[in-house]
Structure 1
Amino acid sequence: MYAICRSYNNPKIVGLLESLRSLPEINGLIVPVNSDRDGAPSGTSGFSTRAYLQETSGFENLKCLPIPDQDYGWSKALNVALAHVPPRETYVLIISTEIRLTSVQFTGMCAAAAPPSASCGYVLFQDREETCFQFPRNTCLVWKLSLLKSIVKNGIIFDELLDSRSGMEDVELALRLMEQSDVVPMLGARDVRLEARTTASEFARKVAAENQAIEEIFERFPAETVERFRHHIRAENQKRLM
């Protein structure tokens, strides 16, 4: 399985890679990088994701994809990266530099994504009770690739218009897949560790913006679709995991 991690100028990728190396199922890594904002290639200015990966990635199948600032956004970066995942792969892990994932949690995510009725295997985060963290997040998510490929249009899977509206492209895609293909996100793990790199006040503003973005996304879909989605997520979040 390949993992995709959007990252630039962020040393937290060091801890993420340590976590990923403990997962033998992960044999490839794709990192879309904002080439204008990432540290200097020499690593002397800020943190150079590209230089670090060249030196110590530990992955035989590594692709670092530089994207100019004017073309970079969270959804845009994912769409570019997904085009580089080998067609033989069944699933893809999308993960944030802030995540520290255990092998048990990862196994649970893969199992959750496996049934025909599942679009993805998602997680709940340790000590995160905010509304926006109760839904599937590309912060840590295993997607079924066949479903993503079934909706791709002109290289677009995640809605790039959301890049300027606080994101939540993950929630929008989960809703779209449920509406079009009758598949749903399935909970695979709890208490996944999230190491937020912002201050408490910055994080609070981010959460408020993401909560608002979710409500705006819900307005795009029929009310009965949104209610079914909400009901399913509530039930998943309350179920016990083995």
Structure 2
Amino acid sequence: MTKLSVNINKIATLRNSRGGQTPNVVQFAKDVQRFGAEGVTVHPRPDERHIRYQDTRDLKPVVHTEFNVEGNPIKSFMDLVLEVKPTQVTLVPDAVDALTSDAGWDTIKHKDFLTEVISEFKSNGIRTSIFVDPVLQMVEGAKATGTDRIELYTESFAHQYGLGNEKAIEPFTKAAELANSIGLGVNAGHDLSLDNIKFFKQHIPGLLEVSIGHALVSESLYLGVENVIQMYLQRLQ
């Protein structure tokens, strides 16, 4: 079964819009795990517009499933990850002012940089993953960095699938097949939802983990958090 990691950034966005601690990020992480989620994901950005660096520290003692911390490996982010030591760090090449992640790494161009960063994290016992587009050369380049896993950036699939184009899954299937063959674990995330997750799961061999936040929180406004998590778990079986 593919693990469901709930990205709780949107809960922090809602909290920050009014100040204070409502909704409470730490309590929400406790609750999604109680409801069946097998991981918690956060993506702290330098401007702390949603998840704050301190949130990441506060979450560490309460995340008893997998704790996945995403971000661009600038020095402050690396220091945070090395301090918190989550289960997994996912490296994302987003700009400081990016609204949301919008591209995977060029693992060939940035091979030396990624290799150095990954070596540092792995020497501290932290599993590593690289955010990549479903391009075979980028998957091969990821292998050369020494990473444990890749996370397939699924926005293009989600968009095209929503338009009725099921063939949009094909590059993702091929990327996953290549990753499996060269010993890379496969994660996925971005714009996955209740509408597309079952189809995606069925066509991605060896899918280990999906990270879902925006859609899951939005769906929960209508259906309830506990119910939505159970719906995702059923689709991921």
TM-score, with structure 1 as normaliser: 0.31
Normalised by the length of structure 2, the TM-score is 0.31
